[in-house]
Amino acid sequence: MILVTGASGFVGSALIERLVAEGMPVRAAVRAPATAAVLRAKYPQADVVVVGEIGPATAWRDALVSVDSVVHLASRVHVMRETEPDPLRAFRSVNTEGSIALARAAAAGVKRFIYLSTVKVIGERTEDEPFSDASIPYPTDPYAISKQEAEAALFRIESETGMGVTVLRPPLVYGAGVRGNFLRLLAWVHAGYPVPLGAIRNQRSLLYLGNLVDAIATLLARPAAPGRAYLLRDGADVSTPDLIRRLATQMDVPVRLLPIPAWGLHLAGRITGRAEAVRRLTDSLVIDDARFRRETGWIPRYTVDQGLRETVDWYLATRRA
């Protein structure tokens, strides 16, 4: 039995769909009864359990009965407009302490624990060299700090108990159901607004949702490789202007890229309070995922253009609904 936490989320729902389609015994853990009812109706083959809010006091015993593999996806995600008076404490409660509580409960019988982290535990940008599995963690915001602390704690639990722990550190994940900056970019390109990013010469590693799900399924189908923290990405990196051109092509809309210099964009970001969003669009963040491919034999099932096509199809369908 495979326990998937965060089963109703962006990644979790896609993973549940994949595992159910392959006839895998799946238990989907969700926070609320209403969400559980929706999942039971959609995936009657899955065993759906309600565990409540994720944190240090979450009761996992019933959810872990007969489970031999855990895929821990549930987390407090990056918040654009934070309202918590102590954001780091809020992130730690869910992402660090919640993960520790689950891992300690799971260690009694679970053989494999797969944890979805983020490339942000290493850093926000690359310059001359890509991030690799040898890169030293350097988290810079509360979300990334909480994830890095969870990684370290999980590896300690592995050394104490023998439960195999594998950590995945993806870059930005896109696909059907995407939210945040990528959704805003889709809307901006579709509307035909001028985009002031024509002068940007960066490179970004991305990961299509279907490729992430396939990578997790690959890990579940192979003997455990404990003690690993893997980076992974689509097969090709793109610049922000190239990404916009590809999206516009998929949407069959004209491309309107204005060549505004990076310094001007950063100044505008500081003035408008969107400095972080501007950095993500203008900085480079490149990943070397050679070790994951070498050690697992995994290659991306979908190309960047295939992933963007599916994402655009979903976006356009939501616009017509």
Asked whether the CA dihedral 216, 222, 223, 227 is positive or negative, the reply is negative
Q: Which of 62, 63, 123, 54 is nearest to 91 (CA)?
A: 54
Set 43, 115, 138, 143: catalytic member? 143
Cα(196)–Cα(51) distance, rounded to whole angstroms? 45
CA 82 from chain center: how many Å? 19
Written as six digits, the tokens of 218 are: 């690959």
Active site residue 143: yes
Contacts of 83 (CB under 8 A, 6+ apart): none
What residues form DSSP beta bridges with 172?
Answer: 206
Any idea of the CA torsion for 233, 189, 120, 97, to the nearest 10 degrees?
-110
Place of tokens 């945040």: 180
Q: Which residues does the annotation mark as catalytic?
A: 143
